[in-house]
A and B are shown apart, each in its own frame.
Chain A
Amino acid sequence: MSSPLSAVLGAFTAGARSRAELARNTGLRPDVVDAAIEHLVRMGRLEAKELAGGCPTGGCGSCASGVDDAPGCGASARSSARTGPVLVELRLKR
């Protein structure tokens, strides 16, 4: 039996840095990789955060520097828009 989720997690740990790389390294179809990432995020194994080099175009609510949905710079404005690249941070469950 194949283990797509474990394969995707393994590829993360091995240093894959994009969905295309994940698909190449695991041999899985891109749509299966997408579904696997989404499911791992839902399971709490992966955390998706937006990465940006300054103030995001989507407003403070989509700030990469934010913590607990609060903007990183301390501003109070919020926005639910998400337009930048998404950083998926691996969080290995103990």
Chain B
Amino acid sequence: MGNDAVVGITIAVGGIGPAIAIGLIVAKALEAIGRNPEAAAKVQTIMILGVAFAEAIAIYSLVVALILKFV
């Protein structure tokens, strides 16, 4: 297996978890806003924070992939 394949697999596998997590977070946030539209601003702030935490995991594998590719 070449280096390019390893890089591809790194980011592909690393993206699965955060993708599911972000989907769940946004789905639940939309549910919450649907139930209580007045709390939309508050829910949005917390949602963006949660998405940022989940996304950080994908970024770790992205950084590993970029280092494998370019260093």
Asked whether A and B interact, the reply is: no
Chain B contact residues, CB within 8 Å of chain A: none
